[in-house]
């Protein structure tokens, strides 16, 4: 009896901490989304072979719907990506074609950046697909996400570091089966957008390739935009220029 109580008292904080971790992650995920969002951003891609800067607009609704449309440079203006649940489509205005992203492109890079198409589709699954463990320090929360048995991912674990005050993400580190950190997403320069404080700069750095960096800078972002509904995210809208 005594031993059982001891056991219970030992596991309870663990359970409690898993739930707390869930809450924290959920809040972080909501940070960039709200119920719906409308943003303009600049994406810089640096590689040893080229540097590219794109400006684009991005809309989202809930976790499953997203639109990205390139505004600049002129050559790529109008190229757009539609994401619905687990499916993705690209639109190319020059040839006026909508192309569904096939499996062979899923693991490829999105728009030439260090994010993959797969990242865009999967970014919202952190909570459901992973087991969470929380460690608290004085200033930070460190959540270690370990994929569940059925989860399909190349990462052995992800470490999510969040500052306590203000409650903002600091970094996501992705580890392979050997425990080596392969890539890292860092968050910088919190700014206020319409009363909401969030990091304005995201940097994705692959650590196994030298000289690669993708930086996303939010120029503007609005949340809970009434004009954006689920129906906004249609193939027809993909083709129109807004």
Partner 1 sequence: MLTFQIAFRNILRQKRRSLLTGLSMTGGYMLFVLGYSILEGSYGNAIDIFTLDNTGHIQIHQDDYLDRPKIYKTIQNRDQVELALTDDPDVQSFTPRVFSPALAYAGDRTAPSRLVGIDADLEPTVSRLLQKVSKGTYFSSLPNTDGYYEAMIGRGLHITLKLEVGDEIVLISSGGDGSIANDIFVVSAIIGNKTSFDRMAVYLPLAAAQEFLSLGNDVHEYVLLVNNKDHNEKIANELSAQLPELTVSPWQKVEATFYRTMQADRQGNYFTMGLIIFIVFIGVLNTVLMSVLERTREFGVLRAIGSRPMQLVRLISLETFIMAFISVTVGLLLILPIIYWSAEVGFLLPEPIDMGGIKFQHLKGEMSARIFWIPMAFILATAVLISIPPGFRAARILPKEAMGSH
Partner 2 sequence: MLTFKLAFRNLFRNTRRTILTSVLISASLIVLILVDGLMLGMTNVMIGGITHTLEGEAQVVRKGFRNNFEVEYTIDDPTSVINQIENSKAVEGYGPRVIIGGMIASSYNTTGSLVYGVDAQQELRVSRISEAVIEGRYLSGGSREILIGKPMADLLEVKLGDRLIITAATVDTNEITQELFRLSGIFEFGPEEMDKNLVFINLDKAQSVLGMKGNLHQIAVRFIDPEDAKNPELPLFKQLTNEENEALGWLNLQPSIGAMIEMSSYATAIVGTILFLLTSLGVINSMFMSIYERIYEFGVAKAIGTTPWQIIQLVLFEALLLALISCAFGLTLGYLLGDYFSINGIPMGKMEVSGVLLDGNLYTQLALYQFVNFPIYVTLLTLAAAIYPATFASRIVPTEALQRAL
Q: Which stretch binds partner 2 (CB under 8 A): 37-45, 91-99, 149-157, 185-193?
A: 149-157
The 10 Å Cβ neighbour count of residue 138 is: 5
Q: Is 153 in the site for partner 2 (CB under 8 A)?
A: yes
Q: Which residues, listed in sequence order, are joined to residue 100 by a DSSP beta bridge?
A: 89
10 binds, among partner 1, partner 2, none (CB under 5 to 8 A by kind): none
Q: Is 99 in the site for partner 1 (CB under 8 A)?
A: yes
Q: Could you give the CA distance from residue 186 to residue 48 in angstroms, rounded to a whole number?
A: 20
Q: Could you give the CA distance from residue 51 to residue 38 in angstroms, rounded to a whole number?
A: 26
**By three-state DSSP, how is residue 27 classified?**
helix
Nearest 5°: the CA angle 113, 159, 154 is 55
174 binds, among partner 2, partner 1, none (CB under 5 to 8 A by kind): partner 2
Q: Which stretch binds partner 2 (CB under 8 A): 44-52, 89-97, 151-159, 212-220?
A: 151-159
Q: Is 98 in the site for partner 2 (CB under 8 A)?
A: no
The 10 Å Cβ neighbour count of residue 182 is: 16
Our CB check for partner 2 shows the closer of 31 and 204 to be: 204
Residues at the contact surface with partner 2, assessed by CB under 8 A: 86-87, 101-104, 106-108, 118, 150-156, 174, 176-178, 182, 208
């Amino acid at each position: 009896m005594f031993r059982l109580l001891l056991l219970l008292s030992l596991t309870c904080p663990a359970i409690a901490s898993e739930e707390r971790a869930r809450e924290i992650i959920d809040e972080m995920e909501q940070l960039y989304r709200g119920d719906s969002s409308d943003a303009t951003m600049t994406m810089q891609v640096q590689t040893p072979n080229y540097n590219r800067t794109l400006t684009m607009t991005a809309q989202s609704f809930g976790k499953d719907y997203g639109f990205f449309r390139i505004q600049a440079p002129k050559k790529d203006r109008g190229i757009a990506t539609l994401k619905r649940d687990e499916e993705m489509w690209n639109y190319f205005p020059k040839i006026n074609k909508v192309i569904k992203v096939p499996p062979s492109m899923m693991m490829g890079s999105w728009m030439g950046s260090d994010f993959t198409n797969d990242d865009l589709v999967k970014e919202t699954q952190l909570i459901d697909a992973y087991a969470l463990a929380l460690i608290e320090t004085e200033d930070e929360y460190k959540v270690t996400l370990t994929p569940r048995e059925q989860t399909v991912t190349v990462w052995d674990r992800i470490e999510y570091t969040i500052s306590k005050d203000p409650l903002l993400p600091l970094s996501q580190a992705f580890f392979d089966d050997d425990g080596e950190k392969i890539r890292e997403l860092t968050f910088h320069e919190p700014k206020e957008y319409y009363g909401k404080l969030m990091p304005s700069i995201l940097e994705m750095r692959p650590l196994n390739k030298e000289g690669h960096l993708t930086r996303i800078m939010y120029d503007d972002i609005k949340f809970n935009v009434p004009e954006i509904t689920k129906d906004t995210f249609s193939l027809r809208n993909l083709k129109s220029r807004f």
